[in-house]
Structure 1
Amino acid sequence: MTTHTAAPAQQDGGATILEIAQQPDAWREVAGRSDEQAATFLADVLARPDLRVILTGAGSSAFAGDIAAPALRRHLNRRVDSIATTDIVAGPLDHLEPGTPTLLVSFARSGNSPESLATTALADQFVDQVWHLVLTCDRDGKLGRAHLGRDHSLVVYMPERTNDSGFAMTSSLTSMLLSCLTLLGGARPKDIEALARGAEHLIGLQDDIRVLAQAGKQRFVYLGSGPLQGLAQESALKLLELTAGEVVTYFDSPLGFRHGPKSVLDADTLAVVYVSTDPYTRRYDLDIVAELGAQLGAENVRVISTEPAPAESGTTVVIPGLDGLSDSLVALPYLVFAQYLALFTSLAHAKTPDNPFPSGEVSRVVRGVTIYPMDGRR
């Protein structure tokens, strides 16, 4: 792993803090690109009325699919499933449908994870008609190289700087997610500019987030509805990764949390609730915010929202300028909050965010996975 020397102002945030802060400009770069080849490829594939879309990846890349899928279902008006590569590899016949024409969208920072390569190979083996859209950050990665020049494949590379050198996926994840929402979900340049400005607003609040991280909480609960549940899962993973497992993290939906998982709460818990932009869903989110505020105290609840929430329930971080955008889109600037909280909590635990596992127990690119061949049965 590359070693970075942090400037004093970064306070040992290394490459990770820089990769978080570069996201608004990286998103603008994604928005500014014009790819006629991609447009033609996808128009031909999406013209098929019986097409199924599968969004796939592992870890954070899988959560990108969870965040994007609802927006794609609405925009494309067709079946869109988010299925992790780890699930497809372990049970391909549970997830792949031979007779259903399928567009497999792969999210892969490096494209070197064994499951990423195996999933596209299994789709080729078991699906009669399959097309591949590979979203990746590494031009030298195995997945991208394997699909370059193939008739039924399209490889879209993210801006070079988003191939994060830090341990955790930050700008790589959001750039791939944004590319997916642009190519398949109808995200417009003006939407992306609003998201970039929202992220810049959060970047300006990083000192406040650092203070929050230094409070020394040992349990963190993230809640979100619909696409924001995928965001909650990514937030929990980010914090778990960067603290090398020294804090307890949990995620759920606001409604699901009451059905047993609420047992995780104690006096040492910080709860983060991502509030939906949908007026109907928002009511359920605000109900759990009020309930958490009553149980934990408002000072131990953070509400991330595009508009103000009742002050007595918790401290609200309002991200302006996002009116009318879907939850799949606002998840992007919401993620910046989660990334900073994970980074600064990592530093508070005396970890090195760029490499929280110096002994290699957990690696940046997964190693040690044996991929077993599948026979021809269906």
Structure 2
Amino acid sequence: MSDTITPLHASATAREISRQPDVWLEAAQKITGQRQDIDAFLTPLLANPRLRIILTGAGTSAFVGDTAAPALTQLLGRRVDSVATTDIVSNPREYLGEDLPTLLVSYARSGNSPESTAATVLADDVLTEVHHLIITCDQEGNLYKQHQDDPKSKIVLMPTRANDEGFAMTSSFTSMLLSTLLIFGGDDDRAVTALGRTVENIVTHRQDEIRQLAGASYERVIYLGSGPLTGLARESALKLLELTAGRIVTYYDSALGFRHGPKAVLNDRTLALVYMSSDTYTRRYDQDIVTELRSALGADHVIAISSEPMPDEDGRNWVLDELTGVNDAFLAVAYIVIAQLLGLSFSVKLGFTPDNPFPNGTVNRVVKGVTIHPLAPSDHKHTNGGR
């Protein structure tokens, strides 16, 4: 697939969005090639019914966990928590309060943010038994180097091109999410191929419409989704917020949760995008909020993104029918590309440089200015042994 999204060929962000299908294929092949080692690491851990799995990262990397956790809970039939590194670092006694055997799955594009390494150190300090699965895009990063020789750690390195040069995480997010689903769920060539085909079609056929949306004078953009797609809605809102340097007000919520107060954000210059679930039960709630929003905002201001046909043929329904029958966590890998393109288009329309929307350095590609404070001696290992 082409490495460019015309006419934005000078933008690393544009290239990184468009080439994701190629990166996903490479990521899937890497997982297949490491399958024996990955299974040798995970199988004895998963055999323990008391194992707690925590998915962790900061910012977009945390939203990988938010999106994957509900799907992995269903897939594995066990508890899977998504807890940001920023929460673990600031409140280790609360978030690591149960001294259970733990698998900490850490996501990081560079692995150089202070919280990335601090969260794994804190887990080792606080918990009696912890193993680490590191999913990262940079083998030169601190997180990779910290764990490369640790016998209780397994590192899964993403393809080199997943280490985005641009400010916003795009292919790094989707590659780490897809790899998580393949690591725990097994190889799925059909899904990877369908995702790639879908994104090629989005880039080819939806760009003009997306650019028109960016030029339509919207001041607020709302993303809604249920289950795994709530985490995706959060990542979508962040992409637009980052790439427009906060110029566009963004919000996210679940399809049901939005009515409970957050609906107050709506005005006549609001665009709403609803990620439709592939689950027939959940989808009813998604459809209800689409209908309600179209009544409030007008049909043209609400886009339903779906893998299944929509009953309302008069509204703006973007149906990705190559993904019919694909579960929500996999759908998220393709759905997010629409949000990435929308953020990119808004950024260009507003006169920002997508690769560096904060030239004054107020927000950085890798977080700066964080001081990691030491734990008091009494806050280290639990005394009950966790057994």
How many residue pairs end up in the alignment? 373
1:203 aligns with 2:203: yes
Once the two structures are superposed, the pairs formed by residues 48-63 of structure 1 within 5 Å of their partners are: 48-63=48-63
Distance 1:166 1:174 in 2: 15
What secondary structure sits across from 1:106 in the alignment?
A: strand
CA distance in 1, matches of 2:196, 2:40: 27
> Identical aligned pairs, as a percentage?
55
SS for the counterpart of 1:149 is coil
Q: Distance between the aligned counterparts of 1:8 and 1:177, measured in 2?
A: 23
Is 1:289 the counterpart of 2:277? The answer is no
2: CA distance, partners of 1:185 / 1:37: 15
Instruction: Return the letter of the residue paired with 2:328.
Output: D
**Structure 2: how far apart are the matches of 1:122 and 1:235?**
30
* CA contact 1:231–1:335 (8 Å) conserved in 2: yes
Counterparts of 1:40 and 1:313 in 2: how far apart (Å)? Answer: 52
Q: Deviations over 1:289-345 (max 9, x none)?
A: 011111111110111000222346630111122222211110000000000000000
Q: Distance in 1 between matches of 2:89 and 2:99?
A: 19
Say if 1:198 and 1:319, in contact at 8 Å, map to a contact too.
yes
* C-alpha contact (below 8 Å) 2:276/2:287 kept by paired residues: yes
Q: Tell me how far 1:13 sits from its aligned partner.
A: 5.7
Q: TM-score, normalised to structure 1's length? A: 0.96
Deviation at 1:127, TM superposition (A): 0.8
Check whether the contact 1:13–1:343 (CA below 8 A) recurs between aligned residues.
Answer: no
Aligned 8 A contact 1:272 1:303 in 2:
yes
Distance 1:12 1:22, change over 3 A: closer
Change (3 A) 1:200 1:240: same
Aligned to 1:148: 148
Distance 2:57 2:250 in 1: 21
Aligned with 1:30: secondary structure?
Answer: helix
Residue 161 (structure 2) pairs with residue 164 (structure 1): no
Q: Distance in 1 between matches of 2:207 and 2:248?
A: 20
CA offset digits 1:87-117 (Å, max 9, x no partner): 1111001111453000000000000010111
Structure 1 306/151 Cα, relative in aligned 2: closer, same or farther at 3 Å?
Answer: same
Q: Distance in 2 between matches of 1:150 and 1:132?
A: 9
Give the structure 2 partner of residue 16 of structure 1: 13
Deviation at 1:254, TM superposition (A): 1.2
RMSD over aligned Cα atoms: 1.5
Matches of residues 1-378 of structure 1 in structure 2 within 5 Å?
Answer: 9-11=6-8, 14-33=11-30, 34-35=33-34, 36-97=36-97, 99-186=99-186, 188-204=188-204, 205-311=206-312, 314-376=315-377, 377=379, 378=382
- Kept in 2, the 8 Å contact 1:293–1:313? The answer is no
8 Å Cα contact 2:5/2:15 also seen in 1: no
Shift of 1:359: 0.5
**3-state SS, counterpart of residue 321 of structure 2:** coil
TM-fit CA distance, 1:44: 2.3
3-state DSSP of counterpart to 2:241: helix
Distance 2:276 2:10 in 1: 28
1:136 offset after TM fit, Å?
0.4
Q: Match for residue 3 of structure 1?
A: none
- Compare 307-316 and 175-184 and name the one that shifted more: 307-316
Residues 161-216 of structure 1 deviation map (CA, whole Å, 9 limit, x = unaligned)? 11000000000110011111111134512221112222222112222211211112
What SS does the aligned partner of 2:128 have? coil
Task: Tell me if structure 1 keeps the 8 A contact 2:4–2:14.
Answer: no
Decide which moves more: 94-103 or 305-314.
Answer: 305-314
What TM-score do the two structures reach when normalised by structure 2?
0.93
Cα–Cα, structure 1 residues 154 and 362, in superposed 2: closer, same or farther, change >3 Å?
A: same
In the alignment, the residues of structure 2 paired with residue 269 and residue 13 of structure 1 have an alpha-carbon distance, to the nearest angstrom, of 30
- Distance between the aligned counterparts of 1:190 and 1:77, measured in 2? 23
1:356 is displaced (CA, Å) by 0.1
Provide structure 1 residue ranges, at least 5 long, that are not aligned to the other structure.
1-5
Moved more, 321-330 or 289-298: 321-330
